[in-house]
Structure formats: structure tokens, C-alpha cells
Amino acid sequence: MDTLVIVSSEKVTDILDYTILIPAIEKSLAEFSKRTGVIQPVRNVVLIPESEGFLGCMPVYSREDDILAAKIVSFFPQNKDVSTHHAVMLIFCAHTGIPKALLDGDVITAKRTAATSAVATKYLVNGKPDVLALLGSGVQARSHVAALSELFTFKEIRIWNHRFDGAVKLAEEIGLNCASCRDVSEAVKNADVIVTVTSAKNPVLRLDWVKPGAHINAVGACRPDWSEIDADLMRSAVVYVDSREGALKESGDIILSQAEIYAEIGDVILGTREAMREKTTVFKSLGMAIEDGVAAKLVIKKLGIE
Ligand SMILES: NC(=O)C1=CN([C@@H]2O[C@H](COP(=O)(O)OP(=O)(O)OC[C@H]3O[C@@H](n4cnc5c(N)ncnc54)[C@H](O)[C@@H]3O)[C@@H](O)[C@H]2O)C=CC1
Ligand SMILES: O=C([O-])C1=[NH+]CCC1
């Protein structure tokens, strides 16, 4: 085996700037929905009953981008003093199958997920958004503020968390235009963009609280029996997903509510499905290996690993 280069989280953080990541993710979402050059089976998951967590294996091949990669990600929702998600990424030569690099996957997961939501918001938000509401105050809440702020200037950011101190801490980190809220209804009132990034298994966001025409990035609840968004809201919104196949297998928000999937976000980018900006829209994100592969490829290219 050639020397396998190991790339630390610090290096990944330095290189993966949203200015390069967001356009790369946008292109990859479109490429995925063409159904011609990307081979990506739905995540294979081993459940760990004791921790209510899982280990997920996410391989991908992209002819267009010359990517052969796999992420392995663990999710231990009960972790308290360490992160709930941990991941490693392996990149192989797409022509010989030789492993080239092993990258820390934590930062990749945080940033590519937020970049994907930023792309979905760019296509689905109704006009210029002033108010952003975040439900959850963990890793993804932080990366979503950063990625969305790359594309939009929010006059107000509101944070709710099921443990109020988490919301207060994040609001202090963000600063001036940011407030912590004790109730979800207060946080999302008149919000133009809502991001749900919790480990909740039952809905935290309800139809009555959401402004008609708002855009929601529903990022948590990645198990078929978990949901973050109430069924009435799912059924009354226009629902977009990253992968139709993934959503039908993994998303409790979709499976339990029996909401209709209108399109993949890649279809909207390709122009084959409409962006219904004036309606209430939900982008249901489960996370795709192609997003990880594209992010990892940006890192190894910059490091000169070919
Ligand atoms: N769609 C995608 O591509 C990805 C989705 N995720 C999902 O996004 C969500 C957030 O991930 P991270 O920020 O990394 O996790 P985290 O552990 O850093 O943050 C989780 C947040 O949820 C809150 N929370 C925990 N239990 C809760 C409950 N029962 N009700 C309401 N809130 C609760 C915590 O206080 C914390 O603010 C998770 O569901 C995770 O699986 C994570 C990575 C990628
Ligand atoms: O795509 C991803 O890496 C994940 N989605 C849900 C948990 C981790």
C-alpha cells in the first residue's frame, strides 16, 4: 500500500472554507439527482440498543468528480461530555482503488451538512430573509449559523434549546443580533428560515407556530421512527429532500407523517422541479456520502494528495 496520508481535524477546518464548500456541494447535489454518474447506496446502519445510537457506513463513487470514498460515522445521542457524532473519511484512488487519505470526518460532517442547508435555503427561501430561528444549540447549530451567514445577512437570530443554558451560551457566542428563547413558539415567530438541529425523537416544531411561506431545514431525526417536525406541518408544506431513496428509508418525519416528497433539492438546482418559494417549504436532510466525498476531495486537492 502507498503511504496513507492522515489529515487532522485542524487541517480540515483550515481548508474547508464555506466560500469553496457551498458551491461544490451545490454542484454535487445536482450531479446526484441526474442519476447518471453518482453511485451511492443508502447508508448502512448498525444500531446500538444500549446507547440508542448507531454506526453508519456511507460509501460513494462519482464518475464526474473522480471520487471513491466512504465515511463511517457514529452517533451516540446520550454522550454528555464528548460530542455525539464522530466520523472518519477514507478516500481511495477512483482508478486503482488504492487508499490515499484518512481524514477526520467530524468537521466534514458539521460543515457539509450546513453547506447543504445553505444551498437548499438559497433555492427555497421566500425573498430576503431577516429572521433565522435555530432549534438546538450543538455542533450543527453552530455550523448552520456560519454557513447560512455566508449567503444571508440576518437582522435577528433566535435560538431555542431543550436545555435553556445551551441556547444562552450559543446566543452569547453569536453576539449582538442573537437572542435565546425559552419557548419554540417564541423562537420561530415570524422567522423566515428555521433550522431544526436537535436529537429529539418527537416533534419540537408545530404547524401553528410557523409563518406561512417560511423555509425550514429539517436536519435532525435521522431514524425512521424519530421526528422533529409535526405531521400536520410536514403534510401542509412542500417537501424537498436530499435523496428520495434515503428519505423513504430513514426519515421518520416523512414516513410517520406520510407527507408527499415533491422533489430532491438536486432537481431544483437542475431546473427540472420548481422552487415553490412562496409556499412553506421543508428541506428534509438526512446527509449523503457524496457531500462528504466532495468535501474530502476539496481538502486532499488543496494538500496536493492525488
Ligand atoms: N442531515 C444530516 O446530514 C446530519 C444530521 N445530523 C443530525 O442533526 C442533529 C444535531 O446534530 P449535532 O448538532 O451534531 O448534535 P449535538 O449533540 O451537538 O446537538 C444536539 C442538540 O439537540 C439537543 N437535544 C438533545 N436531546 C433533545 C431532545 N430530546 N429534544 C430536543 N433537543 C434535544 C441538545 O441539547 C443539543 O442542543 C442530530 O439529530 C444529528 O443526528 C447530524 C449530522 C448530519
Ligand atoms: O450524514 C451524516 O453524517 C449523518 N446524518 C445523521 C447522523 C450523521
Report the distance separating Cα 157 and Cα 204, nearest Å: 18
Candidates 83, 116, 197, 202: which one to mutate for ligand 1, based on the most atoms within 8 Å of Cβ? 197
Mean per-residue pLDDT pooled into runs of 10, the chain (306 residues):
90 97 98 96 96 95 96 96 97 97 98 99 98 98 98 98 98 96 98 98 98 98 98 98 98 98 98 98 98 98 93
Ligand 2 nearest atom to the CA of residue 87, by list position: 3
pLDDT value for 51: 87
Q: Is the CB of 222 under 6 A from ligand 2?
A: yes
Ligand 1 neighbourhood includes 137 CB (under 6 angstroms):
yes
Whole-number pLDDT of residue 1: 59
Output 31-34 pairs: Cβ under 8 A, ≥24 positions apart. Answer: 31/62, 31/64, 31/65, 31/266, 31/290, 32/242, 32/243, 32/264, 32/266, 32/288, 32/290, 33/264, 33/265, 33/266, 33/267, 33/269, 33/270, 33/272, 34/266, 34/270
From 73, 75, 89, 139, mutation site for ligand 2 pocket: most ligand atoms within 8 A of C-beta? 73
Q: Which ligand is nearest to the CA of 250?
A: 2
Q: Is the CB of 246 under 6 A from ligand 1?
A: no
Q: Is 251 a pocket residue for ligand 1 (Cβ < 6 Å)?
A: no
Query: Does residue 59 line the site of ligand 1, with CB under 6 A?
Result: no
Residue 136 beta carbon below 6 angstroms from any ligand 1 atom:
yes
**Cβ pair 120, 265 in contact under 8 A:** yes
Ligand closest to CA 113: 1
Closest C-alpha to 135, from 85, 212, 199, 211: 199
How does 168-199 read in b/e, with b if 16+ C-beta sit within 10 Å?
bebbeebeeebebbeebeebbeebbbbbbbbb
The number of residues making up the chain comes to 306
CA of 73 to the centre of ligand 2 (A): 7
Task: Decide: 162 in ligand 1 pocket, CB within 6 A.
Answer: yes
Check residue 306 and give its pLDDT. Answer: 75
pLDDT of 135 reads 99
